[in-house]
Chain A
Amino acid sequence: MNEPIVDPLLASELEATFETDSQLIPRDSVAGRALVVVVAIMTFLACLTAGAALLVADASRVWRSDVLRDATIQVKASPAEDIDLLVAKAESIASKAKGVESVHAYSKAESERLLEPWLGDGLDLSLLPIPRLIIVRLKDQRPEDLAALRSALALGVPEASLDDHRIWAVRLGTMANAVVVVAAALFALMILAMGTAIGFATRGAMAGNREIVEVLHLVGASDKFIAGEFERHFRRLGLRGSLIGGLAAMAFFATAALLSFGWAHSPGGDEIAAMFGSFELGPYGYVALAAVCIAVTLLTGLLSRRIVIRHLQTLT
């Protein structure tokens, strides 16, 4: 019985121009616009959180790499000993050690300058037994090279001790990981809040479009078809919102990276740079933000589909 009522061959000659791209769920509504705004704000915040977590994680990797590649030799001499001689000896041992890239021994004047922030300037520190520092930069983070250097120093300059900053690096890493975990938790909360908003919007749309749902049912539309229409509708809203929020977040990070060049050597800028690096997200960071936008779009569509199907199943 479901044959066409007219001859399609005859009808195919008709050349009519008409609009055929209308959505079954009305595109523009107050609730729809409100959802776009909510999704845009949530996506912006989620992208900021994700971006900040990435920056901290990257900065932490750089800190740890730097810290673990540096080691400090501290030379403490008794008043009877010639500290300059001991420093030169330790410097020579370190320079010849395996895996060492460079060695820099702090002079007496440099060592005193290190104390100025605490003791002030203009003091005569010559009577104090100030230890001297030698900074050793390693080629790689190889613990066995450090162990060999430590042994060599113990034999050649017993007054010298080697500190490899490993405990400090572990603490830095723990702190950075904590920041990343907090950011991930915030991100999850934002996604949860966004999901809740989408749920409310979907139920509102179902109520507002009850007439459409009923007509669709009566003309033979399946629940799957109706849910698909709602999913398409909400995915489109989600895409619009996530694009607005995501692009705004990308613009924020790009602007911050530009500004960071300006403040790079200011006193406050150094601390910010230490925490977040140069605000340069890098290509992978921007890909991650794009992935957040795609995920938000898909989440919006799939969540609304699930809610619509559940709602339709309750209809008798």
Chain B
Amino acid sequence: MGPEVVGDLNFSIAPQSFQFLTGPSGAGKTTLMRLMLLALRPTRGTVHVFGRDSAALTKDDLTELRRRIGVVFQDFRLLDHLTTYENVALPLRAMGREETGYRAEVVELLRWVGLGDRMNARPPVLSGGEKQRAAIARALIVRPELLLADEPTGNVDPGLARRLLRLFVELHRLGTAVVIATHDLQLMDQFGFARRLVVGDGRLTIFDGSAL
């Protein structure tokens, strides 16, 4: 077992809250995100997600909880052999929903994130920004209770970054708890209401934001 990436952290994400997770590269932001996503198990301590202890979850519990979480990966993790439309529809397909039942939702969301004319394109021919938006759309399509976004604006211009952030804020207003991992201080400053979780040297410091 290697050295601990993070340790002695104690924090909670309240329902319908909005926070940035920040810190220098390599500080453990992605590790924390993966712990919250239940993609990693802590070597010690406990992680509770939606009130459930992650150590006591069965595979079925894990599936059920993940369906309540939307995630935007730093490296997008789109499936290259699927079209943009199919990538965005993937969580709905995985839930067993019929394609005819969700087609309109997916098309509308793709248009909303500016990918209406790229629905049939596959990820290898999308630009970084387009991939980013497709990944965000995939996370939003199930209207998650918790949205985890790892550097969601890392590959887009400042204008689009602000637009995407406003999308997250809108989602937050509709009742989703949002956690955005970023080290873009300027962007965080534009959303001063948000709580900031700062990771550094394996420790976590929390700064409450101003009221929304």
Q: Which of A's residues lie within 8 Å of B, judged by CB?
A: 1-8, 10-12, 14, 16, 18-20, 22, 24, 26, 211-212, 214-223, 225, 312-313, 316
B141 at the interface (CB under 8 A from A): yes
Nearest CB on A from B41, distance (A): 7
Q: Which of B60-85 contact A (CB under 8 A)?
A: 60, 63, 66-69, 71, 77, 79, 81-83, 85
Q: Which of B's residues lie within 8 Å of A, judged by CB?
A: 37, 39, 41, 59-60, 63, 66-69, 71, 77, 79, 81-83, 85-86, 90-91, 93-96, 99, 102-105, 107-109, 111-112, 119-120, 138, 140-145, 171, 174-176
7 closest A-B pairs by beta carbon, nearest first, are A11-B104, A221-B94, A220-B67, A11-B108, A6-B108, A219-B91, A220-B66
B94 proximity list for chain A (CB < 8 A): 216, 219-222, 225
**Contact for A3 among B63, B93, B107, B143, CB less than 8 A:** B143
Nearest CB on A from B82, distance (A): 5
B144 proximity list for chain A (CB < 8 A): 1
Of all chain A residues, which has the CB nearest B171? A5
Q: Are B77 and A18 touching (Cβ within 8 A)?
A: no
Q: Are A5 and B107 touching (Cβ within 8 A)?
A: no
Nearest CB on A from B26, distance (A): 22
In the complex with contacts A5-B143, A221-B94, A316-B41, A18-B119 CB distance below 8 A: yes
B99 proximity list for chain A (CB < 8 A): 20
CA distance A7 to B108 in the complex (A): 9
B119 proximity list for chain A (CB < 8 A): 16, 18
Q: Are B83 and A12 touching (Cβ within 8 A)?
A: no
Q: Are B96 and A225 touching (Cβ within 8 A)?
A: yes
Q: Are A219 and B86 touching (Cβ within 8 A)?
A: no
Q: Are B95 and A4 touching (Cβ within 8 A)?
A: no
